[in-house]
Structure 1
């Protein structure tokens, strides 16, 4: 019997696991997910690394070596995290080779404290890429306004990028432009465009969490009927932007030079509201050339009981616009929500980074 995750893969959805640890690599657990549940990539973040360090003794020997060498906490974080990402890149190398670099990708995040400094972000992206030294690594750069030039600069250097923290359609269009501009500069620099890849991580569940909270505060039947609908509508309209970006002379010129499309990636796909189906952001966002990064709980739910019926995005654009219009009609400002989510998202990134630094600092202190 064809599994739901196989059906997702057949429909053009790449399943990437939103988790990584040395234990998962060493135990063969990640390899099993590749073989059994169609996982073809991995994303990481500071919270994931902090949890892995706190939960497993797989890092103990390396931490002791770093402590004995007098390594400071920032360098220790760089060493530990890039070692894990490099090992994961090696594990996924056969998939990367088989898909010409489209999948088999492992993402690592630039220090979010640099998010408002484009030059420093681009420099850190280059350092991460050089340190990992694997063609299937993706460097995560937040899609802040200040981050847009660093996306362009990083792509122009031939480094593949996962653009993260996208909530609004307007910002997504700016991200697409930043990618295309980077490809144009890469072409001028004599880079091989076929080796440059990118995904644009569009966050889903957090949109519903914030808008549903506001709908509940309004308290009318009309507002209640809109619960759990904004996240899908917003993401589906992002896919429309993706399709439109490929139907331009600008893109066709780049494609003729070997460029790869920047695929939409559905992030934040774990359902936060228990009253909603636990596979909502999986089954509702099926379309070709997309990535769905799933926490393990969501992956397990999808594998177990997701009802995959084919493309659930194409042809929904009028309906999705209507949902956002109705939300505006009950008094909720889309622009205000997405701006708040970006601000909160960046704060969460910074808090997660601080948590990771503290976890490593504690481990180093205990080892000294």
Structure 2
């Protein structure tokens, strides 16, 4: 072998390894859909919704076309719109604030806790004050279970209750995690998740779901999912979307859900190996008391003065890919920088955007590959 050949890269997320593990089961599941030809709202969609309800503990599950649609559909079902404010963390993927802005409501960005990356209840309170000062009506809070770890749902629920707001949990990265012994999907008025292929539970395209214990809300969501239809498909009783999950994707997810618990355990083992191997050279992620994570990402913070681009390049040269979630917090992005931010600013979000970097993480990350990652990180520092 040529000694100048770069080493085979460690996969950042290894969908291929999972595909090999599932073997023929997914081919057969998709084959059943190809045989019955019910590509929209086929039997697998209902079966998946029932399986997800059982897994999460939520009474009602409404599958949909993406995690963004999941957020948007709940806001539509609750008639959130012009003049309303919805409180969102700034350090998250843009879909959280995007869904709010699409309704005509105003996202008001609040800060996060630097240790957990999740919504900071003190900044949330300041954000509600800011919204009211601007003449907006605070309606909802969208905490995010970022990188796989549950947000502090008790603290957020207490603020929501005191202020008369509803909570929509954005569990796009956290589905499968728990908070104080309860799985995500059972907090707030509703929970939204994403089945984008890179997510811990991902399909082979776009997909999402909404979890709620509110039967009337679930009924409105099912109407919104199909253009707002009423009892008759050509009598549309509200504005809606084409928000359905394809039957093929439901078939894929049913097979993946069967191995999801085992994969979560494997992700947690990988996270522990990283923490042991890197805890004394970088800031490793912290699990808050009462929280578990599905480790959608394993995100470290570099020591002060380390050049992040140079660090990433050094790892890449050793076949170790990295990613930055998120180089700009939402309030720093072109489309969102004119929306209000909580009084006192969002300094934690800004600091995180400047020094976080994510390492390879998936359920099939074996110890030898991880040792390579750990050695590369240590030598780059």
Normalised-by-shorter TM-score class? 0.3 to 0.5
More helix as a share of residues: 1
Structure with higher Rg: it is 2
Q: What is the TM-score with the length of structure 2 in the denominator?
A: 0.34
